[in-house]
Structure 1
Amino acid sequence: MQQTPDVGGPAQPLLTIRGLQKHFALKGGPLGGGGDVVRAVDGIDFEVLKGETLGVVGESGCGKSTTARLMMQLIEPTAGEVIFDGRSVGSRDLPVKEFHRQVQMVFQDSYASLNPRLTIEDSVAFGPQVHGVSRTAAVNRARDLLARVGLEPQRFAERYPHELSGGQRQRVNIARALALQPRMVILDEAVSALDKSVEAQVINLLLDLKAEFGLTYVFISHDLNVVRYISDRVMVMYLGQVSEIGPSDALYDKPQHPYTRALLSSIPSMDPDHRTEEAALAGDPPNPINPPSGCRFHPRCDMVAPICSQRVPARVAVGARQAVSCLMYEPGSGHPSAPQLALAA
């Protein structure tokens, strides 16, 4: 399988997100104008490095799936920029069609993702044909990929989606995503609908395919154990913003943001001496239509100070490739736990 050449070199991030926003307008008056907006994604910045798996976690409604669709250009952003290997997506240098050939997505609902009127072989071969590959070459590629994801072409190629199990359909979706020979695959809750035995098989398949094809993954999931297992770095989202980002082991072993600590404490423990007896986090996330001022987590934070409702925290580096958006780590922020600014000599 041939891939598009590396334009920017190995040191350049494959994907860079700058100031990405998506506000959904709500109907207000009788003509539909003048209403509020849902701040689903509200100004996020991050990078995806070449060859890594970036995990994305957070509570339901934090903006994970909207971020994935914005990255894929499936919905129009309110503001912000998506840069792929040094080229702005949607510009003359990188049209959206060419971007979609290099970045593919696997969705959560394996059945709804497939056309029920197309055979499995035709579903996988459809994308390459749209991008100019001949019918014969596309079918050969589809059969090769079905074999690589563990579906014997002689048995499965002529079947329809309703004739397959959920795990088999998700393998078809993975094969279809790889049919265009992409450089990056975005997996939005791609294994969450599967039972645990099938989930483990699909995760190991994803790791094998990543090594074989040199892929870069963005892996979105609510399963914190799976995210740690598969990810090189993890990004934590809360109410449309990034709370913390860093290497997987560092973030799980020593979380810095109060929300990250609360989120990770929800992971069930098999040790009877470490059972969770008290909820680490109370209440539901605030309404994204009218989010809290200052730090959005302050109404639920056990480290809250008066300044937290007044000042939006900046992202501060707290270790090697680890950064957190919290006033406790921002020098001179006014939080009692914040470092003091060094006095000029």
Structure 2
Amino acid sequence: MIPAPLFSAQNLVKHFRLKGGLLGSSRGVVRAVDNVSFDLAEGETLGIVGESGCGKSTTARLIVDLISPDAGTITLGGKLLGKHISARELRRQIQMVFQDSYASLNPRLTMEDAIAFGPKVNGMSPQQAARLAHELLERVGLEPRRFAGRYPHELSGGQRQRVNIARALAFSPKIVVLDESVSALDKSVEAQVLNLLADLKAELGLTYVFISHDLNVVRHMSDRVMVMYLGQVAEIGTVEAIYSAPAHPYTAALLSAMPSMDPDRRTMEAPLTGDPPNPINPPAGCRFHTRCKHADTICAAVEPGLFGLPGEGHQVACHIHIPGSNHRNRGVEA
């Protein structure tokens, strides 16, 4: 029997209204997340990739309930958010590490106080919270005697991000959402933080949602990958399936843009041209059809749902793979 997922998001929708019309009326809505569904198994890392504006960060904020969805449900450990589990309890079990390591920390708090703040607010004594902060600093590779009394401006970017990771672990969460958490670091420091994350996952049994624009890093860190385009899921599957046999033309274009040291694999032409359509007024049908070399009549008329492919949980939203779609390239690889 397949075990129940640790976390499940079903049909999540988040639209942001634009103000500025006559007498403060709305000028439309940005469809940041539009009917997104996925599951997380305990102990896995789900990578989320896509161009800027595809909805990755909005999805991350929905996962941790920093913003509320307009529609859809979130379930953690079989408990439905808002019915069987409160937002406060959800946030204790799902923590987030943001991209900007400096803006994430209060400049007036020492590193010890920054890590201890959350536990103290939730009832832990100051002495216990201070001990916990020192333990977590030690765990993320920062000597407490050197770093506990320092302020954010006294640390490097990599050190600050280690503190943010320690702060996220203060509640012993089940899931940690990492939103471009290493993208602002130079490569040597990035490698150290990635190794730290891998070690913490193994030691503590954590589950990660890893959001990044670096496809090589996502490949290294993830068990499964979810590809997003203009607020929707284009493809989801194991790392092996996505990177070796991408089924969606958008996924194939993203992967072909990855830099390679092999001179025989040089990119001679742009794999993808043009900007994504306006999320205020996305195209009908498949949202990628305006940039897709395989686009057919049905692509502009009918929105494809996620269709299961052979392989473990491999799904794609493309008419090429949907039986009975009558796409002219039906069955052709992306």
| Shorter-normalised TM range | over 0.9
Amino acid at match of 1:44: V
Rate the CA distance shift 1:25–1:239 in 2: closer, same or farther, 3 A.
same
Q: Which amino acid aligns with 1:86?
A: G
Once the two structures are TM-superposed, the CA of residue 10 in structure 1 deviates from its matched residue by 8.6
Compute the displacement of 1:29 (Å): 2.7
| Structure 1 segment 14-163 matched on structure 2, within 5 A | 14-91=6-83, 93-163=84-154
Give the deviation of 1:28 after TM superposition: 4.6
Alignment partner of 1:311 is 2:299: no
CA distance in 2, matches of 1:319, 1:135: 54
State how far apart, in whole Å, the 1-side matches of 2:54 and 2:100 are. 19
Cα deviations by residue, 1:158-185 (Å, 9 ceiling, x for unpaired): 0000000000000000000001100000
3-state secondary structure, aligned to 2:24: coil
Q: Offset of 1:35 from its aligned partner?
A: 2.1
Q: Which amino acid aligns with 2:196?
A: L
* Structure 1 counterpart SS, 2:309: strand
AA of the residue aligned to 2:216:
N
Counterpart residue number, 1:229: 220
Shift of 1:104: 0.2
Which amino acid is the alignment partner of residue 97 of structure 2? V
Deviations 1:224-278 (A, max 9, x none): 0000000000000000000000001111011010000000000011011211110
Query: Which residue is 1:13 aligned to?
Result: 5
Find runs of 4+ consecutive structure 1 residues off by over 4 angstroms.
none
* Residue identity opposite 1:46 in structure 2: F
Distance change in 2, residues 1:176/1:78 (3 Å): same
Structure 1 residues 164 and 302, CA gap change in structure 2 (3 angstroms): same
Percent of pairs with identical residues: 64
Aligned-pair CA distance for 1:34 = 4.0
| Distance in 1, Cα, partners of 2:66 & 2:173 | 17
**In 2, Cα distance between equivalents of 1:26 and 1:34:** 5
Q: Could you tell me how far 1:216 is from its partner in structure 2?
A: 0.2
Letter in 2 for 1:101: R
The separation in 1 between residues aligned to 2:267 and 2:6, in whole angstroms, is 39
Query: What letter is aligned with 1:235?
Result: M
2:240 pairs with 1:249: yes
Q: Distance in 2 between matches of 1:131 and 1:209?
A: 24
- Unpaired stretches in structure 2, ≥5 consecutive residues: none
Matched residues in 2 for 1:237 and 1:249: separation? 18
The one-letter code sitting in structure 1 at the alignment partner of 2:40 is V
Q: What's the CA shift for 1:114?
A: 0.3
Indicate which of 155, 167, 174 corresponds to 2:165. Answer: 174
1:322 is aligned to 2:300: no
* 1:230 partner amino acid: M
User: In structure 2, how many angstroms separate the alpha carbons of the residues matched to 1:34 and 1:152?
Assistant: 52
Could you say what secondary structure the match of 1:31 adopts?
Answer: helix
Displacement of 1:329 in angstroms is 0.8
SS of corresponding position for 1:218:
strand
Q: TM-score, normalised by structure 1?
A: 0.94
CA deviation profile, 1:23-59 (whole Å, cap 9, x unmatched): 1111253322242111011111111111000000000
Aligned residues: 330
In structure 2, C-alpha distance between the alignment counterparts of 1:203 and 1:227, rounded to whole Å: 10
Amino acid paired to 1:199: E
**SS at the partner of 1:162?**
helix
Q: What is the rounded CA distance, in whole Å, between the counterparts of 2:110 and 2:2 in structure 1?
A: 38
1:167-210 C-alpha deviation (Å, 9 max, x unpaired): 00000000000011000000000000000000000000000000
1:10/1:135 Cα in 2 relative to 1: closer, same or farther (>3 Å)?
farther
Give distance in 2, aligned partners of 1:325 and 1:240.
Answer: 13
CA contact (8 A) 1:10 1:50 kept: no
What SS does structure 1 have at the residue aligned with 2:225? strand
